[in-house]
């Protein structure tokens, strides 16, 4: 091999290495770099704070307070059109209501699309005499999504509960990105008497993390902020304290989301606290 050819190979190898490192820097979070960790004494403080405020802790307390970045997200183009076809089939007439909602209907079933891109499917299927368990209803919900091409591997079950005396079940699946839950990007399914009655979808696509990392507040600091808020959540079991990403509904195609601490109760209500500055992003959300 001549010297010129060897030099070209080395240059190409370095270029590929730089591209790989740039990709990892842009798209991968680095949650373990220069982070902080709670001590056993800190964990006990969390329990004491919640108990004194009338809450019962029924969730593990995260020890790590890592350095994180903003997450860039965007709405997938034409996502609502594809979802309408998945639920109702092709060639479905649409009507626009006065409040900006677009409604599609076929054979009693309907799909409503909001201006922000949220899609709500409602089924007109007759109720069955079913006394299925919660687990059976969960499997039915997941199968319904899979059969319509709506299930993705980045979804995980986030919350479930029974509704009413007839055994209706509600499930919320949350989108994840690099292991972090995107609390605002969800698929919700209502199963009633052996039938999927309603599906609500709001999804975003993740474009990657920003390059600047910031130290987040700890779970202890988040709980201190939480208990100081005036009656943001009724006294109940706390079933989740976790770090993820949250965003209000923006009228934009692309935007940045912030890391948050979510403190959630057994009834599905939750408080989202900005993990950078400690501000309450939203007080109570179901």
User: What's residue 77's pLDDT?
Assistant: 72
4 confidence band (pLDDT: 50, 70, 90)? low
pLDDT above 70: residue 64: yes
pLDDT tens by residue, 155-167: 999 999 987 656 7
pLDDT above 70: residue 43: yes
CA dist 272 and 248 (Å) reads 11
Fold of 73-207: TATA-Binding Protein (3.30.310)
Which pair of tokens denotes residue 69? Answer: 């970045």
- Rounded to the nearest integer, the mean pLDDT of the chain is 85
pLDDT tens by residue, 110-159: 999 988 889 999 998 777 766 778 999 999 999 999 999 999 999 999 99
Q: Nearest CA to 222 among 17, 20, 61?
A: 61
Q: Which residues contact 278 (CB under 8 A, 6 or more apart)?
A: 217, 221, 222, 225
Domain boundaries, the chain: 29-70+211-285, 73-207
Q: For the residues 72-96, what does the mean pLDDT come to?
A: 84
256 confidence band (pLDDT: 50, 70, 90)? very high
């Amino acid at each position: 091999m001549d010297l010129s050819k060897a030099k070209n190979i080395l240059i190409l190898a370095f270029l590929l290495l730089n591209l790989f490192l740039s990709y990892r820097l842009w798209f991968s979070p680095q949650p373990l770099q220069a982070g902080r960790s709670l001590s056993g004494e800190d964990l006990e403080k969390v329990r004491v704070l919640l108990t004194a405020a009338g809450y019962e802790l029924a969730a593990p307390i995260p020890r790590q307070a890592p350095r994180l970045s903003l997450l860039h997200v965007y709405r997938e183009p034409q996502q609502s059109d594809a979802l309408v076809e998945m639920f109702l089939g092709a060639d479905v007439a649409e009507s626009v209501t006065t409040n900006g909602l677009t409604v599609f209907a076929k054979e009693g079933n309907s799909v409503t699309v909001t201006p922000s891109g949220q899609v709500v499917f409602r089924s007109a299927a007759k109720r069955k005499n079913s006394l299925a368990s919660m687990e059976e209803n969960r499997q039915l919900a997941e199968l319904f999504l899979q059969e319509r091409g709506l299930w993705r591997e980045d979804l995980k079950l986030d919350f479930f509960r029974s509704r009413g005396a007839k055994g209706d079940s509600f499930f919320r699946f949350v989108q994840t990105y690099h292991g972090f839950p995107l609390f605002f990007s969800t698929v919700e399914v209502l199963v009633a008497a052996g039938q999927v009655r309603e599906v609500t979808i709001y999804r975003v696509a993740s474009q990657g993390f920003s390059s600047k990392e910031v130290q987040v507040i700890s779970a202890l600091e988040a709980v201190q902020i939480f208990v100081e808020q005036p009656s943001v959540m009724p006294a109940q079991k706390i079933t989740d304290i976790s770090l993820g990403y949250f965003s209000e509904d923006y009228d934009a195609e692309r935007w940045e989301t912030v890391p948050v601490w979510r403190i959630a109760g057994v009834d599905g209500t939750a408080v989202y606290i900005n993990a950078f500055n400690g501000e309450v992003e939203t007080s109570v959300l179901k």
